[in-house]
Structure 1
């Protein structure tokens, strides 16, 4: 793969969250482009960011599909991500640094060079059928959105849900896409059996701000309608106010919770802006392009909540932070959740899990 030169970002790119090809931390060499005033770039040169970089999808065969984690501050120990990279282009996405593992930029490459695990359903069926598999709820789409735009074409998430339904395996969905409504014909009966719940993430209620922060994700009002559609179909649904960005979105915390509760959300959670690895550089570049007047203030507040650093990944601190500002956010959230009376989501049922008979298998009559 050709090495891309990173040109200094002088303006946002329409329809994209990142503004440049921030190099990954494993790159042996990087090329830094600069403007010498001659503007002699060859129109055929593809080493600098195009004004409107296209999206390319690489189909890959996954060797395994269920990921395990032992993080004590996550509410699941198994997850599935049908895609790598995400076309939603959310500039704040904590999954961006994962693109460095495949020698791609966590910046523009993360939202334009995507990977679809086309054998995901086949691998899931094999892993659930293994002798000794122990059932626990699977989180679907927690790293990159399982319902991002390319799901319309690939339908990998729907195939995974069909397999989970065959095994009566409980799972959780996390999304910010209205495309989840396409699968209500599967989700509604599974919810009636206690096998699925969902969370819809809402970052802001400001359409213009959303278009800048998460350019190819659904608009805020569409996400609220998605919460309503899931609730009306009987799918237990909650809202995730994530990420909360100091001095940009934190003032909306109460209004987001109120709007989601009105739409039918039964549970609520929140998480602070997280800036691991290359994401810190991507985020600060975005701040300078969109909020130059308050960029320093935003980062000052971030560091106040992260022990003086851009990021603190310690368990128990990375989601809610620490310090006076973080404590104030936690108090505001707890007070609003208590006032609105979110009842919480019912537990998922693991007792119904079972391996279905193989196609053509015949049960014993006696």
Structure 2
């Protein structure tokens, strides 16, 4: 065989071998891409996203779109060719697998966590919107979750209202951990609670639950990477009673990042006039009960998805501004917001055409 032919054959075989290796060898990466965007003022799958009963509502116009990110599943194993293609594709982002699924998180665990965060974001969106409108909302601290095989299992239950720990009144979720960690592991701690069933019955009857019980739990030692401390194996959260019904109907979405846009949609429906002035506005951001907007993941994918759907303005959490501004889609204005009040002020400027006053994102924040 001529040397030139042998060299070409060897090169071809080498190329085939490399291609096969690229297809067969998994790499520890996952992929993010733009997901669907949904107008919180409109319908989704034939039903209004926001349904409010028991209070006057008003006609809205324009778009207040929440945005999402598609991610590969926890058990998806990307190969080298797919990773290279993703790195070269402007509209996708390849990230370490552990970024999306830390510590070996399974698909089921991730879905459950996303569902819980989505549910909590809806509650906080309702509270933030009503507080901004001056409408009172009743709140209390509850047992959010009970860890399996922990000292609290079988003694406390999700939904129990925590009134006090060791006789000291609990006013916010952080108080629970603070009071428990005053103990040494092995010591007893006393929770004064309204059982979840009693609380549910009271809410149904529109009365205040008064039946409490004391529950004594022996603390154990924390097993996480932080400083060793006394724990009982629960997480505390907040529950609310609203003066009228606000339902958010949106399936197959998870995580906390739609909080801001839900809050603005609720505010718009409960106030005369249009917040958007008919403009197409999208955005993202977590929100807490006090209306503070927090950062989210996948901001670059969300701005791409919003612009592809026609958004002109994008409400951006302040802490995401620098990342988002590095590659802003053409025709999209990134508006920096830290609170729901900032977002409402920005919408006012957009409605009035005073866009020069908008606090825009830059690569510095």
Q: Tell me the TM-score normalized by structure 1.
A: 0.30
Kindly indicate which of the two structures has a greater share of residues assigned to strand: 2
Higher relative contact order (CA 8 A, sep 6+): 2
